Structure 1
Amino acid sequence: MERMPLISCILIILSLSLISTGKGERFWKISPPEAQPAERLWRGKLGEALTGLVNARKGNSVKGVTELKKYLQSFGYLSHEIHNFTDSYDARVESAVKLYQRSFGLPETGNLDAQTLTQISTPRCGVADLIDGSSVTPRLKHFTFFHGTPRWPRRKRNLSYAFSPLDKSLGIDEFQLRTLLARAFHRWSRVIPVTFTATEDFESADVKIGFFSGNHGDSQAFDGPLGTLGHAFCPQNGRLHLDAEEQWSLNLEEDKAAIDAIDLESICTHEIGHVLGLGHSSLKTTVMYPFIHPRTRKVDLTADDVSGAQALYGINPHYSGGLHQAFDGFSLFFAVLSSLFSWGLFILL
């Protein structure tokens, strides 16, 4: 019994030191997309496949168009009824490219100019933007939902989450990972009446988080570094998957030499939005925008992100309405502490 005050003090100090990393962060911490050269195609399998397609247009037959078609189909811009892909840049490809350009505010030419190719090859979330091109996201559209607007039922507003037991082999610091996830979940729970609790029971958890490579059994294969970074499924599926082959960073300031580092907390915050039922936004500043550049930290919910979540679940009665203020210290402290308790930290001490 005499050890308890000392243990509590240690936990408080550790938690507060980790909580401090979540205060008052800007939307784009490292470098915004606008600062990147328009001609650059990001490294990665897709970027390599598209290098010969600059200024390709209808009527051309160029190596790499097949990969372009697969990309457009996977994100909903080209019908899934098309199966036999060739390198022919036909009218269907032109139409799909125009739809893609319209969705993200690019010049609607149907041609693969450098700006469009850079956008396509930028690392992104693997969740589709459209469904076979049938639900166009207008240029000025804000938040969106999955088809049918699924959400967690009222009786299920305290969601448990757990990590896959297989993740321990990745070499990611487990303490930092759990604290990072607690912060990411708290960003959403502070604005809506939904709470998240860490658990060790992966099979029964509402939200199942895991790192996977390539084909991993959900028909949405990962493609290696700087491609699709992660994906998540709508309510009440609860699966949240991250590409194990990315160069994940828990702290970009410490990983200054890692030029292709992807901020893990930013991706987790985005994917939790999908777990709640949000689709992608066409607004670049939002957390739910599907693209993110390496060495970019983007964790603060915007007014658009908050409005979308609250349209699904209502307003957290304790939410003050501030978007860029520091976290509510006490609520975040207890969220982190709850995650550490579930890990059995007291037992370890």
Structure 2
Amino acid sequence: MHTMTMFKPFYLLVLIITISHSTSAQTPSPFNFIEDLQGCHKGNSSTKGLHGLKHYLHQFGYLNYLNQTHLDDDDFDNALESALKTYQRNYRVPQTGALDAATVAKMTSPRCGVPDIVDGINTMARKKHRRRPSKSIHVVANYAFFPNSPRWPSSQTHLTYRFVANTRIDAIAPVNRAFKKWASATHFTFSRVARNAKSDLVVGFFSKDHGDGFPFDGPGGTLAHAFAPTIGSFHYDGDENWVNGAVEGGFDLETIALHEIGHLLGLGHSEFPAAVMFSVVSSGQTKLNLHQDDIEGIKALYNV
């Protein structure tokens, strides 16, 4: 598999869910360092480790310096305060511009690895769509699309998928069920083909650097990722504790499959916590049915 350059073009966006294991001290979240920075605010200088926060915000699109040396210093400057306020607005916490407890809790929570701001476009701010379920009620839908709304061609409503050779046996059935649930709620149909056959979509388990430019980082970090249309790749992190069902300390295979298939079809993240496309996933959690917000998102994206 060749290495892909992120965001050029946009349809190469890769969706990565990152997980903090609150139940396992042996596999801490890679974002836990932010907890040690709680209380920092503009004017702090030489706060040890603050450059890690800058890199976090840079990774997700909030912070870009003309002079990149500032990315590696520990100065809480105006740019960092502004980036924090934008982050806080996106995640619905008070816009203090400081690293308060509410902001730390959000930043150390599970999230998607795709930047929230891409080339200056705040995708979270662009994601609201109006729908009218009745003559008297207006409801704000929370589904989202990628920049430029990549999608499968209108002539390609049947998609084939296959599992790579290293796929866990216990993952086959939950992934199959996830595809059936998307098929039952959309205009798409899916069929599984042999491992050595050509397919539109590919599912597999990988560890660390696996050749697509987005390496996994072992237990406690990135959980899975999938590429927007029409790349068709869906990767689980093989180093995580995968389970079937709501098992404390484990991650449900079908729940993640439902989420990642949504990305394969072109959906971004929903702001609605009950939606499958909500960005947060916790150990022991299951979401086994598509939410109306997920379904309406696909219908809007494909105009069906």
Give your verdict on TM over 0.5.
yes
Change (3 A) 1:88 1:245: farther
SS in 1 for 2:93: coil
Q: How does 1:1-349 map to 2 (within 5 A)?
A: 44-60=28-44, 61-79=46-64, 83-84=68-69, 85-86=71-72, 87-138=74-125, 141=128, 142-167=142-167, 172=168, 174=169, 176-201=170-195, 204-252=198-246, 255=247, 259-315=248-304
CA distance in 1, matches of 2:68, 2:214: 17
Question: In 1, are the aligned partners of 2:207 and 2:238 still within 8 Å (CA)?
Answer: yes
Please list the CA deviations of residues 35-78 of structure 1 after superposition, one character each: whole Å capped at 9, or x if unmatched: x9xxxx99624243223111122222333323322322222223
Shift of 1:136: 4.3
Change (3 A) 1:282 1:185: same
Unaligned segments of structure 1, at least 5 residues? 1-35, 316-349
Shift of 1:160: 0.9
CA distance in 2, matches of 1:80, 1:161: 42
CA distance in 1, matches of 2:166, 2:178: 21
CA distance in 1, matches of 2:27, 2:42: 26
Q: AA paired with 1:72?
A: L
Shift of 1:236: 0.5
Question: In 1, are the aligned partners of 2:165 and 2:195 still within 8 Å (CA)?
Answer: no
CA distance in 1, matches of 2:201, 2:183: 14
Q: Where does residue 341 of structure 1 map in the other structure? A: none
Shift of 1:206: 0.9
Please list the CA deviations of residues 257-305 of structure 1 after superposition, one character each: whole Å capped at 9, or x if unmatched: xx43122211111111110011112222221111122211123222211
CA distance in 2, matches of 1:110, 1:63: 19
Question: In 2, are the aligned partners of 1:78 and 1:133 still within 8 Å (CA)?
Answer: no
CA distance in 1, matches of 2:270, 2:241: 25
Question: In 2, are the aligned partners of 1:261 and 1:295 still within 8 Å (CA)?
Answer: yes
Please list the CA deviations of residues 119-171 of structure 1 after superposition, one character each: whole Å capped at 9, or x if unmatched: 1112233333331442242398311111111110122111111122233xxxx
Unaligned segments of structure 2, at least 5 residues? 1-21, 129-141
Q: AA paired with 2:78?
A: A
SS in 2 for 1:241: strand
RMSD (Å) for aligned C-alpha atoms: 2.6
Equivalenced residue count is 265
Change (3 A) 1:223 1:154: same
Question: In 1, are the aligned partners of 2:127 and 2:144 still within 8 Å (CA)?
Answer: no
Change (3 A) 1:192 1:145: same
Q: AA paired with 1:190?
A: S
CA distance in 1, matches of 2:26, 2:92: 20
More strand by share: 2
CA distance in 1, matches of 2:215, 2:285: 24
Change (3 A) 1:81 1:249: farther
CA distance in 2, matches of 1:212, 1:135: 30
Q: AA paired with 1:289?
A: F
CA distance in 2, matches of 1:99, 1:260: 32
SS in 2 for 1:109: coil
CA distance in 2, matches of 1:111, 1:78: 15
Question: In 2, are the aligned partners of 1:45 and 1:224 still within 8 Å (CA)?
Answer: no
Q: Where does residue 11 of structure 1 map in the other structure? A: none
Please say which structure displays the higher CA radius of gyration.
1
Change (3 A) 1:230 1:69: farther
